[in-house]
Amino acid sequence: MMAGDDSHMAALPTAGAGLEQALMTRDAVPSISVNGLCKAFGTGQARTVALEQVSLTVHPGELVLLMGPSGSGKTTLLSIMGCILRPDSGQVAIHGEVVTGLSEPELCRVRLSKLGFVFQNYNLFPTLRAVENVMVALDLKGVSMSQARERAAEVMDTVGLGDKLMSLPEDLSGGQKQRLAIARALAGDPEIILADEPTAALDSVNGRLVIGLLRDLARQRGRCVVVVTHDNRIFEFADRIVRIEDGRINISEMNS
């Protein structure tokens, strides 16, 4: 089956112009650029090297899978790209802005304005309604409650959860939870989506739905999407597959 056949997200507004523009600027300003990253944890005998001289560039409109065995450093790389973890050395640039030396409040600003996250375990707020989970992302950006509610409802409709606005996360299926998490990541309209094992807890149908959504974000809306995964079922959706082993990038290949 072709990746495109699973495009459940017909509701996603096609942003051809966005993609076109993204492709036009592809060579000029990458979404994420990391260069010579090194990161180790622990000290002395317990010191473990997680990343060693890792360099990678991801462009707008591209869906990149980061793959590798457990402990290979892919989540560490994702954390550093997401401005959540600081590298020991090397440089990270988000849309051309070098963020490596920024203070914690400045990194918060970068995360808030440019990045959206999707987590393996969804990380939804269990006490909030589905729509409120999405509204939180907008509230962080200072959007008023009424506008946030309206925008959250729109985004939830986009991911096929228009009828689940008032549901609690516990009342949603795994696939619905992950789509809600994607809606939350999308609400603030970030340029970059970073996803950690987004399909790991899902069956094949829901897994394809979720990765299809992420693929459409890249293709139709020109977003840069980086996905850490072990899931072989989603290879076909990727533009590029980057394989990491022992903290180094072994292979970076375009997906045919």
Instruction: Reduce the DSSP state of residue 1 to 3 states and report it.
Output: coil
Cα distances from 200 to residues 11, 81, 169, in angstroms, run 24, 21, 18
Give the whole-angstrom CA distance, residue 64 versus residue 67: 10
Q: Closer CB to another protein, residue 26 or residue 86?
A: 86
Q: Closer CB to another protein, residue 15 or residue 155?
A: 155
Does position 166 bind another protein by CB under 8 A?
no
DSSP E strand stretches across the chain:
32-41, 48-58, 63-67, 89-94, 97-98, 115-118, 192-196, 224-229, 240-245, 248-254
With a CB cutoff of 8 Å and minimum separation 6, the contacts of 196 are 75, 78, 117, 118, 119, 120, 228
Q: Closer CB to another protein, residue 119 or residue 235?
A: 119
Q: Closer CB to another protein, residue 33 or residue 75?
A: 75
| Element (DSSP H or E) covering residue 20 | helix 16-25
Q: Out of 40, 93, 102, 136, point to the residue binding another protein (CB under 8 A).
A: 136
Q: Closer CB to another protein, residue 110 or residue 242?
A: 110
Residues of this chain, 70-129, that bind another protein according to CB under 8 A: 75, 78-79, 82, 84-85, 105, 108-113, 115, 117, 119-121, 123, 125-128
Give the nearest distance from C-beta 139 to another protein in angstroms: 4
Instruction: Kindly state the greatest CA–CA separation across the chain.
Output: 55
Count of residues near another protein by CB under 8 A: 32
Residue carrying the six token digits 């340029």:
191
Give the whole-angstrom CA distance, residue 158 versus residue 30: 27
Residues of this chain, 195-214, that bind another protein according to CB under 8 A: 196
Give the nearest distance from C-beta 6 to another protein in angstroms: 26
Q: Out of 3, 63, 99, 148, point to the residue binding another protein (CB under 8 A).
A: 148
Q: Out of 137, 161, 172, 209, point to the residue binding another protein (CB under 8 A).
A: 137
Residue carrying the six token digits 């603030």:
188
Give the nearest distance from C-beta 14 to another protein in angstroms: 27
Q: Closer CB to another protein, residue 23 or residue 128?
A: 128
Closest CA to 99 of 191, 60, 111: 111
Q: Which residues bind another protein (CB under 8 A)?
A: 75, 78-79, 82, 84-85, 105, 108-113, 115, 117, 119-121, 123, 125-128, 132, 135-137, 139-140, 145, 148, 196
